Amino acid sequence: MRILMIGDVVGRPGRHCVRDLLPRVKENYCVDFTVANGENLASGTGFNEKTANELFGYGVDALTMGNHVWDKKEGVAYINRDSRIVRPVNYPPGTPGQGYAVFACKGVKIGIVNANGRVFMPALDCPFRRVEEAVKELQAETNCLLVDFHAEATSEKIAMGRFLDGSVSAVVGTHTHVQTADERLLSNGTAYISDVGMTGPYESVLGIDPEIVIKKFRTQLPARFEVLDKGAAQFNAVVIEIDPQTGYAVSIERIFDIHQL
């Protein structure tokens, strides 16, 4: 079972990059199931029905989220209507959406858990405890489990990887929009990377027009962030091969591609 995990897809350049590259990537890497982080799908913050369905139409099977999940009110209204969307599990009880879900692919069940970190991020329930509970629930159904840990600090992410090593197939980091080169198999069979990176405008600052970000840093005046909508796009992802019998990872491979839109 080969799972493709695409890092934070940012705005139209990110969506169009997925549209243009996904068919070839799926073929080249023999991908069975595709997950994308969709917290920045709609104009860089949040998602809505239209942008989520755009990604599903391009061949994405599941969308995970992050701290920007609630930024578009259409997304908040839509999230309960689409079981392919998984939002961080450590929001308060009663929050719309689901923190984990099971997907079926070629006779194999794949469990997906999403969680937000809380180092240098808004305070939430403990991601370690909430993910542990979710993993226990999912293990009743399958041992093919992917955790998208949407967090800022590499320490918190590596700790999550170590914490879950051997009980899930993969722990992949998202949120920083910068791909790390530390992909590896941990000693008990879990694939790990601190951050998958971003799929979006290549000449940007984390997806945003550099002029706006630089001006904000230099002046400290409020600024409306806008996705850079010109130039090339980058496609950041990992492909994880999982032994469907055991749930252990066999390999993890990083993809960093640049694409002229």
CB of 27 to Fe ion, least distance (A): 27
Inter-residue contact 69 to 49 (CB < 8 Å): no
How far apart CA 246 and CA 231 sit, in angstroms, is: 43
For position 156 contacting Fe ion by CB under 5 A, the verdict is no
Cα separations (Å) of 155 from 24, 115, 195?
34, 15, 12
Closest C-alpha to 257, from 230, 235, 232, 231: 235
Tokens 């409306």 belong to residue: 224
For position 40 contacting Fe ion by CB under 5 A, the verdict is yes
Concerning whether 259 is annotated as a catalytic residue, the answer is no
- Which residue, 65 or 110, is less far from Fe ion as judged by CB? 65
188: annotated binding-site residue?
Answer: no
Piece of the chain touching Fe ion by CB under 5 A; list 98-106, 125-133, 167-175, 252-260: 167-175
Which residue of 67, 90, 114, 204 would you call a contact of Fe ion, by CB under 5 A? Answer: 67
Q: Which residues lie across from 260 on neighbouring strands?
A: 232
For position 175 contacting Fe ion by CB under 5 A, the verdict is yes
* Distance linking the first and last C-alpha atoms of the chain: 30
16: annotated binding-site residue?
Answer: no
67: annotated binding-site residue?
Answer: yes
Amino acid identity at 72: K
Residues taking part in catalysis: 68
Task: Please report, in range form, the residues annotated as the binding site for Fe cation.
Answer: 8, 39-40, 67, 150, 175, 177
* Annotated binding-site positions: 8, 39-40, 67, 150, 175, 177
Contact positions toward Fe ion, by CB under 5 A? 8, 39-40, 66-67, 175
